[in-house]
Amino acid sequence: MPQLFLNEKSCETTADPDRVNHAMTEMVKAVLAVAAADQGTVLITQADSLLALELAPGHPIGKWMGAPGTDEVLRLRLKRLDDKSPYRTVFPEGETFSDVGYEYDGETVEGLGYAHLLGGVGISLPLEARWNTDRITLIQERLADDEDTGSVSTEVEVRHAARVQHVDTHLKWIESGANTARQKAVEGLRSGTELWVRCPDLFPLVQFTPDAEQYFAELAETWVRPVGERLGELQDAVSDWDPERHPIAPQWRSYVRTEFEMRRKLCWFTDTDGENRLFDWHSEFLPEQGRMPGRVHFRLVHEERTLRIAYVGRKLGNK
């Protein structure tokens, strides 16, 4: 779960409104790129809340949200993102970090410092060239245990992003953390019902028909983990799907194909709007014990850049 700490110093640059709004759009794209790789992403700001944030002196975030040039999709996705403000709300219980401070260019930088302390990522508005980078070196000043020594200064590096291009350099690290957390969550589940309840959290980009719940409830325990793994691969596939570049389907993370013509009659299910539709795309899985294959059946929803699952369980037609 990446914690993104907004660099408060990047919100202190005076600039014309159009330039501030453009910088905010660039930063939001970076934030959402991280969230696409790990849906547990949290944005943490120095303000009392995200909606109280000032992007520059005299330029509250509301001006960006209401600007004619602001992409409505970006605005809505940012509002849906989990945010926790101010910084102290994510400190470990009882911790104040009063014994350590950070500087950059001779200035105290709280957000970037907390990003280093808590293993997160610093996020900045790219209004100044110094924030246009994927990593930033800070001076850490920490009180020494020995009272005679005073404090110790050390150079430290923090992951950072102000544009989507910067996120690209951190993707492997982000995806590794996301996959590990998701895998641990799936491994702890013992029934299909438990998996169904966790689907919105673990696979938020994947959709399900209402009737899919009954198939999850029927899953044997040995099928829960492999189904969860396949759902994770489908989630990852749609997270970076661009239907304009890949108009037929996403780039799959495992073996996925459409059903053979003679078997498609088995693949009709009731969709979310009550219409009967063909769900002939499928991903295969094997239970942890036994050889009888299982399948996850879905259809692609190009207009929403996702897929909708109607069935999980034994291969259709097999009893």
DSSP state of 54: E
- Which amino acid does the sequence have at 185? A
**Is the pTM above the cut of 0.85?**
no
Check if the beta carbon of residue 6 is closer than 8 Å to that of residue 45.
yes
- d(Cα 285, Cα 303) in Å, to the nearest integer? 27
- Write down the residue that tokens 């930033």 correspond to: 136
Which string of DSSP letters, residue by residue, matches 235-273?
HHHHHT--TTTSSS----SS-EEEPPGGGGGG-EEE-TT
- d(Cα 111, Cα 259) in Å, to the nearest integer? 51
- d(Cα 254, Cα 180) in Å, to the nearest integer? 18
Q: 269 — alpha (psi -120 to 50), left (phi > 0) or beta?
A: beta
- d(Cα 234, Cα 132) in Å, to the nearest integer? 33
In Å, what is the CA distance from 313 to each residue of 93, 150, 291? Answer: 43, 64, 13
Gyration radius of the chain's alpha carbons: 23
Check if the beta carbon of residue 143 is closer than 8 Å to that of residue 130.
no
Exposed, middle or buried: residue 313 (CB in 10 Å: 0-12, 13-18, 19+)? buried
Closest listed residue to residue 125, CA positions, set 19, 2, 16, 1:
19
pLDDT tens across the length of the chain (319 residues)? 689 999 999 999 999 999 999 999 999 999 999 998 887 899 999 999 999 999 999 999 999 999 999 999 899 899 888 888 899 998 877 788 888 899 999 999 999 999 988 888 999 999 999 999 999 999 988 886 555 557 888 888 899 999 999 999 988 888 777 777 788 888 889 999 999 999 998 888 899 999 999 999 999 888 898 899 889 889 888 887 888 888 999 888 777 889 888 899 999 999 999 999 999 999 988 765 555 678 999 999 999 999 999 999 988 987 6
Strand pairing report for 151-161 and 207-208: unpaired
